[in-house]
Structure 1
Amino acid sequence: MTIQPGQIYRSLSNRHHPADGPVRIKVVGTHGTIPGVWGFGKVDVVTLTETGREIRRRAIEATQLHATATTKTGQPRRTGYVLER
């Protein structure tokens, strides 16, 4: 699984307001990542509003982005962002 521009992720944190739902981010660019390798370098993301507007561009560690909501041992992840299908 590779991180690519256009992918949308949702927050796994439970620190959001229940009415707002989880924070969603969109990958808009990568820099310093190794092509074909998951989880190295930084990724440029924007926050998506409920209407789909892109706000708050920033760089985050690629290690915060996950392909699944569970760990290798089957435990649910509590931090980071999971890829939306």
Structure 2
Amino acid sequence: MTDHQVSSNQVYEACHPGDGKRRIRIIAVHGNRAEIETIGRRSALRRFILLNTLHASATTSTGRPRRTGYRLVGLLGEPPERSPTT
């Protein structure tokens, strides 16, 4: 499963560098999948994704940067987490 609690209104950002910092919002959690919508599009794209693609951080347990899935950046309405600029 996932290493943290997934709940509605959480915001995640794509870990893959080629995805251009795409952000999604959790609408609801249904068993082992989450209903999400893409943030920042003219018409919100809703779909389901598996919970194991949602991560608490941008790094793996060994400290390597994640290349797949989405990392947690906060709750909808909170100021976004700043990405390190190294």
- Pairwise same-fold verdict (TM > 0.5): yes
Match of 2:61 among 42, 60, 72: 72
The answer to whether 1:25 aligns with 2:16 is: no
Structure 1 vs Structure 2 CA RMSD:
1.6
**Count of residue correspondences:** 71
Match of 1:15 among 13, 18, 43: 18
Match of residue 38 from structure 1: none
Match of residue 35 from structure 1: none
Q: Percent identity?
A: 38
Tell me by how many angstroms 1:67 deviates. 0.1
Equivalent residue of 2:60, what SS?
coil
Question: What TM-score does the superposition give when structure 1 sets the normalisation length?
Answer: 0.76
Match of residue 36 from structure 2: 45
After TM superposition, what 4+ stretches of structure 1 lie above 6 angstroms from structure 2? none
Question: What TM-score does the superposition give when structure 2 sets the normalisation length?
Answer: 0.75
Tell me by how many angstroms 1:15 deviates. 2.0
Check 1:54–1:31 CA distance in 2 against 1; reply closer, same or farther (3 A cut). Answer: farther
